[in-house]
Chains A and B, each alone.
Chain A
Amino acid sequence: MASRLGRGTLGRFVMVRLAATVVLLLALSFVVFALLYLAPGDPARNLLGPRNPSPELLAAIRAEYHLDDPFVTQYVRWIGDVVRGDLGTSIRSEIAVTSLLADRVVLTAELAIMAFVITLVVAVPLGVRAAWRAGSVFDRTVSLASIVGVGAPSYAVGLLLLYLLGVRFQLFPVYGIGDGGLDQLWHLVLPAVTLAIGIGALVFKLTRTAVLGELEQDYVAFARARGLSEGAVRRLVLRNALIPVVTSGGLVFAFLFGGTILVEVTFALPGIGGLLAGSVTFKDIPVVQAITLLTATVIALTALAVDIVTYTIDPRVRARGLR
């Protein structure tokens, strides 16, 4: 028998949320484009970088970038290029931003995904177990460790891991990305662990709190009083606790993608974090714009994914639907 909550509405839900995401990204792109004007100084000079330009050169730049057109016209032309995959030319290296980013995005994405997977595989089960045995030695030990994990800065953790596992015991490579393929993944293990420690501590806390909150609910007492086995009670609780964990997981992934910079610098990885740092220093505005836009897109898509997952696992959200 069909429920009143038909699953056919999922498609509509996704379409509406997707449209909202596109609108959000357009608004963001507008802000990103405005960076050129928000940066101090003459945009034409900024686009030329730290050269000392002749008036002719400045005029040429103004013509090339249509800097004398109205702001909105410029934006529309720019966003049109972006949609077609043209993000402009880097000022510093004078090559197309897209080709500059291509390899680095893959590396950063690999790093972020690896860190995310490590986080989920380790922190969520630990959080569940700690909540189930709240107050036990296990709970107190892991909780204490998580406080250290949240507090320790990632560059310090990175250096410590480098020293211990890379230099002292020589288990992991200490530098660079290796020869591609599996070797590249192998080189990313230490940086990913470094990232996962801070984030994992956070996810552990969130999971523990979520499960503890569910354990205090009446339905758990009721289930036990009815004679449900501990295993059955556990499934009931985990299904409910999944909802806040998914929400926080999404936030964490979005943070990871934008938060790789310190780790990339520590481990000398050519990811977008390192590129962003260099480009900001150099006022390489097209590159900064591209990275900002990219990060914003990843965050918006993550939020979209979280919404869709929440929609499918929480019947109450499904019932409220698109209202």
Chain B
Amino acid sequence: MNPVLEVSGLWVIGPNGPIVSHADLAVEPGRTLAIVGESGSGKSMTAKALTGLLPSGVHAEGTVAVDGTSLDLAGGARALAAVRGRRVSLLLQNPFTSLSPVHRCGPQIAATLAVARDEVDDEVRRRLAEVDLPERVASMYPFELSGGMRQRVALAASLASDPLVLIGDEPTTALDVTTQREVLDLVARLQRERGMAFVLITHDLGVARERADEVLVMYAGRLVERGPTAELLGTPRHPYTAGLRDSDPPLVERLERLPSIPGSVPRAWEHPAGCVFAPRCERADERCRVDEPTLGGTDADGIRAWACWHPLDDRAAGVVVVTRTSPTDEGAPTRPLVTVGGARRRFRHDAPPALDDVSIVVGAGEAVGVVGESGSGKTTLARCLLGLERLDEGTIEWAADRPRATRAQIVFQDPSSALNPAMTIGAALGEALRAGGQDPSAVPRLLELVGLPVPYAKRRPRALSGGEQQRVAIARAVAPRPDVLVCDEPVSSLDVSVQAQILNLLNELRRELGLALLLITHDLAVARQVVDRVYVMHRGRVVESGAMDRLVAAPQHEYTQRLFASVAGR
């Protein structure tokens, strides 16, 4: 079959140089192509170039052929006007911001419907039904709907003009796992019914594995590998693809140490000559540092391609070393450190409570997880434990009567906003040491503990990558030597390859310092790699708790079962 969308020689050039360099891609009707990459890979810019939405100062080169019509991408929005919406449509990441907040959903869907005025209402009703929404949604405003429902409305809106190609830019990343699955199932069904092609842009290898027929891997603005999904992920040829796949934490087993890619993702224009991945690659040699490989080496059918001088062979690519840790007990810890009993908290009278009779216990040196989706109350629980929020009812009892700074410390989701941008790393860590009554001269030791070079003490947070910033935030939290380290979604704003490094660090710190960990996360696989015991929260209540091993093997509660079943790509 001929491709419905074919892009050749795509360049996206920003003020600092190329953001995407020479990308080709094609997708056939009814098929799904996933473009996988981390931050700075250029995957979103590719989507923007194809829909004429590049920001000012950034322009594209190359051609796109849609359904046989060839267009020059350099023409931007004007050149693409003929296909935009009508043949190629876009679904954005955040359903909370992608619809106009002051317009009702019906008119927003109707805006690009090609039907007569008196048929609009019927057609809107039909389109809502197509995405499994009741007709009353037409007269509702976006803020009256849940995230999943909003994304369905957005989907109905992007399909209103019956495009041949739908580009989804992280279309489910902002959604809870259970909702994520529903929306992706819906897209798959619509694709089948309409014979529509889907370009799925995602950072999540699990989603790509499950949904895509073909995968393109991008790194620092380059296409590094391409191939049919199962083949590409089964036997990756490019070391980056292999690293990305292996850093993605598994749910079924707990690894002694997660494979990770050293270093961090470079900015697209910030790389030296040679292969963009060479600085992080174990296989790199002199040639890799001088000569840039092109997407060449292919197999017989020509679909498979990679850009590497030293591709992995079948054996090297297929093997992941798995070391399983010993299973843990189901029961309560022998030495409780902190006990929360019957905790209740309600923020608004007309909303359901954030915490509804929650009881948990964390033992000394134990790693405990609190898992739940948005609105489950998990973050409120963490904040109450730290004294950042008060309980309406219930108790929090600490076994040892110690100063607050040495009881518990927290690591937040977004390290860039958790660190004071005006303070050097050294000053921030020194302050934290003093707060715990420690010697402030221990800053170098602290930096070494979290795997950062000692000279970083003189830098400010802005000069560090996201992963490095999170290491600093962790160092700051462990500086006062707390009994328990609370981590609230500590890796969800980080790239997959960096996420594994941070999870390994948390495991090491716990062993070395004898810390207790309380990990708050929506990501079961992340929890799996760190915690022994887990509490599953849903709408302010703990619905199930027990050893992580047991929950993975045999979840009891209906919600836990649904949560585990929703994890993509496993």
Contacts and interface: CB of A to CB of B under 8 A. Distances in A.
A319 B144 contact: yes
A218 B94 contact: yes
A323 B348 CA distance: 10
A228 B111 contact: yes
A311 B144 CA distance: 16
B456 interface: no
Interface residues of A, number: 28
A227 B99 contact: no
B369 interface: no
Contacts of A221: 53, 90, 92, 98
B462 interface: no
B327 interface: no
Interface stretch (B100-108, B207-215, B305-313, B511-519): B100-108
B143 A224 contact: no
Interface in A1-57: 1-5
Given A224-B53, A226-B112, A315-B141, A239 B103 contact: yes
A224 B56 contact: no
B46 interface: no
B22 interface: no
B136 A1 contact: yes
A225 interface: yes
A280 to B, nearest CB: 45
A243 B136 CA distance: 26
Contact of A226 (B89, B103, B138, B139): B89
A239 B158 CA distance: 21
Nearest to A214: B100
Interface in A216-236: 217-219, 221-228, 232, 236
B330 interface: no
B135 interface: yes
A313 B101 CA distance: 11
Interface string A287-323: 0000000000000000000000000011110010001
Interface of B is mostly: loop
B412 to A, nearest CB: 24
Contact of B56 (A135, A219, A227, A232): A135
B561 interface: no
Interface in B42-86: 51-53, 56, 77, 81, 84-86
Nearest to B135: A1
A22 to B, nearest CB: 27
Contacts of A315: 101-102, 141, 143
Most chain B CB neighbours (cut-off 10 Å) among A217, A223, A227: A227
Nearest to B99: A219
Given A218-B97, A239-B102, A227 B143 contact: no
Interface string A198-229: 00000000000000000001110111111110
Contacts of B101: 219, 240, 315-316
Interface in B157-171: 157-158, 160-161
The size bracket of the interface on B is 35 or more
A113 B144 CA distance: 38
B92 A319 contact: no
B140 interface: yes
A319 B143 CA distance: 9
Contacts of A1: 135-136, 138-139
B154 interface: yes
A260 B128 CA distance: 55
Contacts of A232: 111
Contacts of A222: 90, 92, 98-99, 154, 157-158
A240 B102 CA distance: 7
Contacts of B102: 239-240, 243, 313-316
Contacts of A239: 100, 102-103
A219 B53 CA distance: 12
Contacts of B144: 4, 319
A2 to B, nearest CB: 8
A6 to B, nearest CB: 12
A143 to B, nearest CB: 17
Contacts of B90: 221-222, 225-226
Most chain B CB neighbours (cut-off 10 Å) among A232, A314, A315, A316: A315
Given A4-B144, A135-B56, A224 B84 contact: yes
A2 B140 CA distance: 9
B158 A226 contact: yes
5 contacts: A3-B139, A218-B97, A219-B99, A222-B90, A225-B90
List 8 tightest A-B contacts by C-beta distance, closest first.
Answer: A227-B85, A225-B90, A218-B97, A222-B98, A225-B51, A226-B85, A218-B98, A315-B141
Interface of B: 51-53, 56, 77, 81, 84-86, 89-90, 92, 94, 97-104, 111-112, 135-136, 138-141, 143-144, 154, 157-158, 160-161, 350
